[in-house]
Amino acid sequence: MKDDEIELCTFVKKINMQLLDGRATADEIKKELAAAVIERKKEGKKIPHLAAILVGNDGGSLTYVGAKVKACEQIGFESTLIRYDDSVPEEVLLAKVQSLNEDKSIDGFIVQLPLPAHIDELKVTKAIDPKKDVDGFHPVNLGNMVLNLPGFLPATPAGILELIKRNNIQTEGKNCVIIGRSNIVGTPLSIMLGRNTNPGNCTVTLAHSRTENLKEICLTADILIAAIGQPNFVTADMVKSGAVIIDVGTTRIEDATKARGWRLCGDVEFASVSEKCSFITPVPGGVGPMTIASLMINTLKAMELKGK
């Protein structure tokens, strides 16, 4: 166990709340997927193959893509990492996307975001074949999600729902406040939690930078989800007693006590908020591992949809 994990465990024992352990839940999912791979091998079926395109050397993106490749190895999926320099022209990236669309050995692929400013992210996302879009970012998959039709669900929102489900947290009829309306987290999550599904059936408020009376709105939340990328933004005075707290933030902040000089910090002030809530996700080890587990689920699904 790492030092910060020991500190967290000691702290959790002192207070009356439960940690939503995304790492443990994701490990459970990865074991299930590994068993499915073994079964497929026995039957002589194809092994899922995920490709990832990474542009540039952003530290966060390198970590996330590295974790995705590692998860493939743990499960027994094949993986291919394609890297480009920051200066890669948009046409080169689009041509690679096209070749992955046509490559029969690749079941699904992702283009890690954000991309450099000279590349149009939407154009790249729209160029991905929706049947291989295991991130669930293509407008066709987002449209299917809104209509509750089959397709790929975006990985972070799907991971949050799976974490809620596997920890038996009831959502029906609850007030859910989401802070942050990004295309890949807040906006799709607001729809997924409002749908007539389980988890779902919440009354959802999607708060953002123009929201007035944010504190009062947050205080109505039975489930509060922070996805704005601002370290320690949610403080205890914004949280209703007994609320469920999901922290999507993963900002690198300076930390001289760490050998690498930084640590990951969530959008929620963990120490004070955890004293008031019923459940909370830690950072790291909460939503992050669940995002990767969802991507793995989507990759297996992409291959199964091809009837292989």
Stretch that binds ligand GUN, among 31-39, 101-109, 111-119, 145-153 (CB under 6 A): 111-119
112 is catalytic: yes
Annotated catalytic residue 135: yes
Residue 162 lies near ligand GUN (rule: CB under 6 A): no
- Reduce the DSSP state of residue 299 to 3 states and report it: helix
Q: What are phi and psi of 60, to 5 degrees?
A: -60, -45
Stretch of 22-30, 69-77, 105-113, 260-268 contacting ligand GUN, by CB under 6 A: 105-113
Of residues 179 through 218, those in contact with ligand GUN by CB under 6 A are: 184
Instruction: Name which position in 79, 141, 190, 291 contacts ligand GUN (CB under 6 A).
Output: 291
Q: Which of 21, 107, 133, 135 is catalytic?
A: 135
Beta strands 262-265 and 251-254, pairing class? antiparallel
C-beta of 123: minimal distance to ligand GUN in Å?
A: 15
Q: How far is the CB of 278 from ligand GUN (least distance, A)?
A: 27
Q: Which candidate in 68, 96, 174, 301 is catalytic? A: 68
Stretch touching ligand GUN by CB under 6 A, among 73-81, 109-117, 207-215, 299-307: 109-117
Structure tokens at 307: 């009837």
Alpha-carbon radius of gyration of the chain: 19
Long-range contacts of 81-87 (CB under 8 A, 24+ apart): 81/51, 81/52, 81/54, 82/51, 82/52, 82/53, 82/54, 83/53, 83/54, 83/55, 84/53, 84/54, 84/55, 84/56, 85/55, 85/56, 86/55, 86/56, 86/57, 86/116, 87/116
Binding of ligand GUN at residue 112 (CB under 6 A)? yes
103 is catalytic: no
Q: Which of 140, 127, 79, 75 is nearest to 106 (CA)?
A: 79
Q: Which residue is nearest to ligand GUN (CB)?
A: 113
Contacting residues toward ligand GUN, per CB under 6 A: 110-113, 135, 155-156, 184, 291
Enumerate the active-site residues: 68, 112, 135
